[in-house]
Structure 1
Amino acid sequence: MLPDVQNAPIVELAEWLETAPGRYALEWEQARLDDAVSDVFGFHAMQAGLPQLDALRANRMPFKGYVGPARPAVPLRSRWNAFVQAELDALPFETQSLDLLVLPHTLEYSADPHRVLREAERVLIPEGRLVITGFNPWSLWGRLPGQSRPFLPGSVQPLSPVRLKDWLKLLSFEVDQGRFGAYVPACRTEKWLRRYAFMERAGARWWPVCGGLYVVAAIKRTATLRLIGPSWKKAKAPPRAAVVAAPRTGLHHGRDAA
């Protein structure tokens, strides 16, 4: 069993997801994840953390598993073929064994998010797909000056999409698509969240990178190797003898002259 101190932030997020803004976030992310994983093919798909989201619901791979610091609640376990309890910065999977890996808010609750990404790169096959969700610090849901109390869970450490893309690039991932959402103000009741719902369409048009949530999908690229053998040099052919034109003599073919 992993220490309770490691699970405390996850528990805090789970409690926040039961609030009105938490349910709003789950609804938006579930729809975006369905779009992101529906056309990803292969054999093995894995969700790392946040069992409140059914991140692989729309995927059609034969094996769909779950890994996290704690086991998912019994009513949720039927979503996956199998689940394993493990630390997400040391995934218990073979190298290049997964076709799809989803990290829903996983990086924001890790002591070393870059290490988690390195593990994701290790376990994914070449051309495998990585999908990440997170809170956007540059949004109305971020930690704004003057807030009496934080809108997001206090233990969350939002990772900006710009930094995330830089890290992915360093690990040879190519960002395939990205979506932002939750442009509504930091309202704590469902009534006001729905009242400001019109801002979703306006935000996507006028300030597209300022949504409170984001989903990023990336593909693991592997440089093509080209075998370079020894540079054998072909033996040079011996130089051909120069053809010299012989001068004509006074000899004539046929009968000799008298």
Structure 2
Amino acid sequence: MNAEFDHFATWLATPLGRYVAMSELAWFERSVVDIFGYKAVQLELPQIDCLRSNRMPWRLQAGEAAGTQLKCSVQALPFDEQSLDLIALPHVLDFCQDPHAVLRECQRALRPEGRLLITGFNPWSLWGLRRLKPNSEIPWKGNFVALPKLKDWLSVLDFQTLQDEHLCYRPPVQRPGWLEKSRFLDQAGDRLWPAGGGVYCVAAVKRIRGMHLIEPQWRSATATAGSAMAIEKLRQQARKDRCK
């Protein structure tokens, strides 16, 4: 069992963790409200109810963390192929053992045009620099997958990125007073340092590769025979012209 999700859930109860949780919850609520279908799944971290504003009739929280409705490995999902319409991954890639394996499982389980929503810590930010401190603990010793790398992985798995944005521009400190005084950075961050937020959010859709239409052999044979007849008629007409 991966205990890092439970440790991160405990961290979410700290002042800095609550700031992250509330910021991401607002993004998930905006993102899922207009996604339609029948089945939606959130992997890990039930402390952030990513599907709260979604209206699908079947919504489930799954994973290894305490409090999830369905206990399972995020790298081996117990769902049929192409059976889900929406999967939410709040920091799952940050703390799972094999992020790419998780994405492959999501690709397998999602229906064509199914949506994938991901949040993760941005290594190219002040929050990423916090990882350099010796003896770092959760969340600073997570995977911190870079956004460009994540987009490459998604592209290889036939996902198209629809949206990406950054959140949490305040410095990664636990003092509530400092967090409150730096509130203005959340409003100014997108303008002054667009890719510098401590958390990134990605919305992607599963696409189907284009198919090449192969014509039946009889059609090709007919076209070939027709071309041969036309050439023979031209030759006969040319011989008649020379005899005149």
Using the alignment, how far apart are the partners of 2:140 and 2:159 within structure 1?
30
Structure 1 position 193 matched with structure 2 position 187: no
Structure 1 position 39 matched with structure 2 position 25: no
Alignment of 1:14-163 (within 5 A): 14-72=9-67, 83-144=69-130, 147=133, 150=136, 153-163=139-149
Q: What letter matches 2:8 in structure 1?
A: L
Alignment of 1:237-256 (within 5 A): 237=229, 239=233, 242=237
| 1:151 positional shift | 7.7
Kindly tell me the number of residue pairs found equivalent between the two proteins. Answer: 233
| 1:239 positional shift | 1.9
3-state DSSP of counterpart to 2:233: coil
Deviations 1:34-53 (A, max 9, x none): 11111111111110111101
Q: What letter matches 1:107 in structure 2?
A: L
Deviations 1:77-134 (A, max 9, x none): xxxxxx3211000001111111100011001111111010011111111111000011
Q: What letter matches 1:45 in structure 2?
A: A
Q: TM-score, normalised by structure 1?
A: 0.83
Larger proportion of helix:
2
| 1:136 positional shift | 0.8
Deviations 1:193-227 (A, max 9, x none): 01100011221101110100111000111113233
Using the alignment, how far apart are the partners of 1:88 and 1:144 within structure 2?
27
Q: TM-score, normalised by structure 2?
A: 0.88
How many percent identity over aligned positions? 42
Deviations 1:131-164 (A, max 9, x none): 0011111112223387476485244221111111
Q: What letter matches 1:138 in structure 2?
A: W
3-state DSSP of counterpart to 1:239: helix
Q: What letter matches 1:37 in structure 2?
A: V
Aligned-CA RMSD value? 2.2
* Gap regions ≥5 residues in structure 1: 74-82, 248-258
* Gap regions ≥5 residues in structure 2: none
Q: Bigger CA drift: 210-219 or 137-146?
A: 137-146
Of 164, 173, 180, the residue aligned with 1:178 is 164
Using the alignment, how far apart are the partners of 2:145 and 2:73 within structure 1?
20
Deviations 1:152-203 (A, max 9, x none): 5244221111111111111111110011011111221222101100011221
Q: What letter matches 1:11 in structure 2?
A: D
The answer as to whether partners of 1:142 and 1:152 remain within 8 angstroms in 2 is no
Using the alignment, how far apart are the partners of 1:155 and 1:100 within structure 2?
28
3-state DSSP of counterpart to 1:208: coil
Structure 1 position 205 matched with structure 2 position 191: yes
Q: What letter matches 1:127 in structure 2?
A: E
